[in-house]
Chains A and B, each alone.
Chain A
């Protein structure tokens, strides 16, 4: 079990291998990787600056993990989120869930991402050819979390 906020990139394969190492009860692994797109809202994106509210971020992610464990029959959970300056193609976030059977892994992975998007205190600022702009929250993200 772990949540991490870091500047450094991550290796999803290595993280998955580490998470399921030694647990012979794992029969399913679901993972999600979010990456930086080169365009957003009809504008080119040259870079993205990710900031967070240190302390609260880790607390919120840990609470989400606890909630996911209570709700789904999972064996282990990992959430890694990057901060700092990222460019198109860079990885932003990794969620990995291990479980005995696939439904719990798929569901918990999606649950964690849906609530990470609406509750974890991260903010994105885009650097575009026209200058910097803060990314606005999307109603569709609230709707996604609302389905749970």
Chain B
């Protein structure tokens, strides 16, 4: 992308701060019930950017949220998918498959 004088526009990463809520087994495995998380992304952020940020911590985060693990998400208390958008101040819940009833 170039602006009117022909020079390349630097891509400005955006920072979105969300509130993460961990539930059930994942709360125990990660040792946290909630936290504020700054997500850096090139484009409008989605759940996948939140997950990538958390995995980037390594250790239990990479292990518990790694590919192939059964992890579910909700954004503002509605079930979400990897491509669900997240915005400033949103509540993003991270939890295992549900086992009620």
- Contacts from A to B (Cβ < 8 Å): 34, 50-53, 55-56, 59-60, 81, 92-93, 113, 116-125, 134-137
Contact = CB atoms under 8 A, between A and B. Distances in A.
Given A51-B24, A121-B23, A123-B96, A93 B101 contact: yes
A135 B77 contact: no
B98 A119 contact: yes
Interface residues of B, number: 17
B77 A117 contact: no
Contacts of A118: 98
B99 A124 contact: yes
A48 to B, nearest CB: 10
Contacts of B70: 137
Q: Which 8 pairs between the two chains have the least Cβ-Cβ distance?
A: A122-B100, A137-B97, A123-B24, A56-B77, A134-B25, A117-B101, A135-B99, A124-B99
A116 B100 contact: yes
Contacts of A51: 23-24
A53 B99 contact: no
Contacts of B98: 117-123, 137
A56 B74 contact: yes
B95 interface: yes
B69 interface: no
Contacts, number: 71
B93 interface: yes
B32 to A, nearest CB: 15
Contact of B95 (A55, A123, A124, A125): A123
A121 B25 CA distance: 13
Most chain-A CB neighbours within 10 Å: which of B25, B70, B100? B100
Given A53-B77, A137-B98, 11 more contacts: A34-B101, A52-B100, A53-B74, A56-B74, A59-B78, A60-B79, A120-B101, A121-B100, A123-B96, A134-B24, A137-B99
Nearest to B29: A134
Contacts of A55: 77
A117 B99 CA distance: 6
B27 to A, nearest CB: 9
Given A51-B24, A53-B23, A123-B23, A59 B77 contact: yes
A125 B97 CA distance: 13
Contacts of A50: 100
A93 B101 CA distance: 6
